[in-house]
Amino acid sequence: MVARSSNNIERLYEGINKIILLMQDFTEIKNLAFIIKSCRLKPYNVLHCKTNRASYKKIPTYEMQEWWIDEFRCSLKIKKNKDINIIYNDLTFDASYSKCTDLYYGLSLVNTIKISKLVYLILGKDEDFNKNCFIISLLGIDNYFRTFLLFDEEWYKISTLYIGIRGITNIVNNLNIINYKEFLYDKKSNMPCVNKKVWLSSLPVRKEFIKVVENKCGVDVSILEF
């Protein structure tokens, strides 16, 4: 269970903006700053402060922050060779330090779609049970990601890092899309299914897109047509 928090995430990012830009310059990943903010990633050194009260003010703006953590206990680690490594369910981090800063965390999938402008779909089949394997990642009108996994006929909120850095980059590089686009599946994302298809679409989706997905995957995504 992800705990709620009243912390102002915008204030946090304002306070560590120079650090975020430093990491972007270091990695030479053009949109890393957007990725960090849209996934609500926070530096380990900020979260690990027991009081967590404006702890970002104690971090020098020239100090590299190689370990970033989201609200689902997933880590993004930036290596000295500039590679990025994602650790899912990182047990080396005390989850009690990480508080949810998403004001809309309690919204259902349907209501989350209504406050979003882009949707990234990953569709496939579960290898063991031959059931649909389905991830919906939504970029809100507030530029924060909210990602859902369909498992055993139930929707669960998950870390956006599960779609992989390439998947997030696909979205960030196409923020102004007005229709839809298909992508190759990122093998580095952590989705255990086969025959995967990937699309990005603006919201609300067009009827043409709904038909394309249904024809290729046999999945009804009319829920996205609000």
Residue-wise pLDDT for 141-157, tens only, equals: 999 999 999 877 889 99
Q: How far is the first Cα of the chain from the last one, in angstroms, to the nearest whole number?
A: 29
Does one domain contain both 35 and 122? no
- Whether 171 is in a domain gets the answer yes
Does one domain contain both 113 and 213? yes
pLDDT at 120: 97
Q: Which domain holds residue 209?
A: 109-224
Reply yes or no on whether the pLDDT at 110 is more than 50.
yes
Domain final position from 28, 62, 97? 97
- Whether 4 is in a domain gets the answer no
- Whether 218 is in a domain gets the answer yes
pLDDT in tens, 168-203: 999 999 999 999 999 987 665 666 666 679 999 999
Does one domain contain both 203 and 114? yes
Confidence of residue 4 (pLDDT cuts 50, 70, 90): very low
H/E element holding 215?
A: helix 207-217
- What predicted TM-score, i.e. pTM, was given to this entire model? 0.87
The domain total for the chain is: 2
SS3 218: coil
Does one domain contain both 16 and 86? yes
Domain final position from 67, 97, 127? 97
Q: What is the DSSP string of 74-134?
A: -EEEE-TTS-EEEETT-TTS-GGG--B--TTTT--HHHHHHTEEEEEEEEEEETTT--EEE
Domain final position from 69, 97, 125? 97
